[in-house]
Amino acid sequence: MEKRNIGSLAVSPVGLGCMSMSHGYGPSDEPTSIQLLNEALDAGYDFLDTATMYGGGKNEELIAKAVKHRRSEYVLASKCALFKKDGKPTIDGRPETIRSQCESSLKRLETDVIDLYYLHRLDPKVPIEESVGALAELVREGKIREIGLSEVSSDTLRRAHSIHPIAAVQSEYSLWTRLPELKMLDVCEKLGTTFVPFSPLGRQFLTGKAQEASLLTEGDIRTNNARPRFDAEAFAKNSELLKPLAEIAKELNCSLAQLALAWVIHQSDSQGKKTLVPIPGTKHIEYMQENIGALNVNMTPDVVSHLSTLIHDDLVIGERYSEGQMKVMDSERDRV
């Protein structure tokens, strides 16, 4: 399998987002998740993504329980600064908090080093330079190998990169969420920063398997902070956009999920090089196996281009997050 670079790290072209095994999509099933993580490594995944926020550390503990005995087989990414305090999401990017959370993550993950450590969200009260400075100290101490940022603007990335090289920027990117195309992808290319798309399958929407909004369960993030696009009326209208994609998937003998994911995998930079490393998340073994099958889809530049015209932000009803969520984002949209 080909490898793609994230700083000094080399990973498979598709990583595994681990959040949904412990957080955001209803009840967890630890035995199934343990089996999934091991079968994912067997299938060729070698890039696992977790965070302090996911299940209040439970997701990190799950990874340790499942695959710590196979630590040499995967690149491990986690995140700091976003967590729940008194039941409410809190952002704290102060150096002392970053250090404390890193130490706690290392213990939960039962590892000596985290390969890629992200600032999960920008703390508006703390200059990015201070947060990255703290992360740089952790690199020097050998506790983390590479620094990443999550959900930031290109201006913030530039400021952070002036303090220490930023190996990765993680943000939502898919056929129906194209915000990174405004500036971020170009800036990442110029700085040598790898872009890591999360939710490349649109929180299951682009797979055609998503339930109608009225059927979403309690504890499912699509019922609250991602509600706008999954509201019953918006969901019905957005679903019409999948019909031409289903026809193309049939022609290419792949599933809708594989088609949508292959579109992300085959995005090219200005030199024609494919560098993105999407991290679709799932807690279902069959979906994990289906997703890695996207690497075998026979995508041509013409198909990639055609898909780009069939579904994009201007055609989609609803924002990707609720109004409250959007207000606390370091959004690129505010800078164009």
Inside any domain, residue 125: yes
Query: How high is the mean pLDDT in each 10-residue block of the chain (336 residues)?
Result: 95 96 84 98 98 95 98 98 88 98 98 98 97 98 98 97 98 95 96 97 92 64 71 88 97 98 97 96 97 97 97 87 68 55
Beta bridge partners of 78: 117
**CA–CA separation, 87 and 85 (whole Å):** 5
Task: Point out the catalytic residue in the list 25, 45, 54, 118.
Answer: 54
Q: How many domains does the chain have?
A: 1
Contact predicate 65/28, CB 8 Å:
no
Q: What pLDDT, on the 0 to 100 scale, is given for residue 63?
A: 98
Inside any domain, residue 260: no
Inside any domain, residue 111: yes
Inside any domain, residue 183: yes
pLDDT for 234-269, tens place per residue?
888 999 999 999 999 999 999 999 999 999 999 999
Q: What pLDDT, on the 0 to 100 scale, is given for residue 336?
A: 42
Q: What pLDDT, on the 0 to 100 scale, is given for residue 330?
A: 81
Inside any domain, residue 153: yes
Q: What pLDDT, on the 0 to 100 scale, is given for residue 85?
A: 86
Inside any domain, residue 43: yes
Q: What pLDDT, on the 0 to 100 scale, is given for residue 335?
A: 43
Q: What pLDDT, on the 0 to 100 scale, is given for residue 45?
A: 98
CATH of the domain at 98: 3.20.20.100
Q: What residues contact residue 245 under an 8 Å CB cut-off, 6+ apart?
A: 175, 206, 256, 259, 260, 307, 310, 311
Inside any domain, residue 310: no
Q: What pLDDT, on the 0 to 100 scale, is given for residue 288?
A: 98
Known active-site residue 287: no
Predicted TM-score of the model (pTM) = 0.94
Contact predicate 28/22, CB 8 Å:
yes
**CA–CA separation, 117 and 129 (whole Å):** 16
Inside any domain, residue 253: no
Print the domain residue range for 109.
4-203+265-295
Beta-strand pair 9-11/4-6: antiparallel
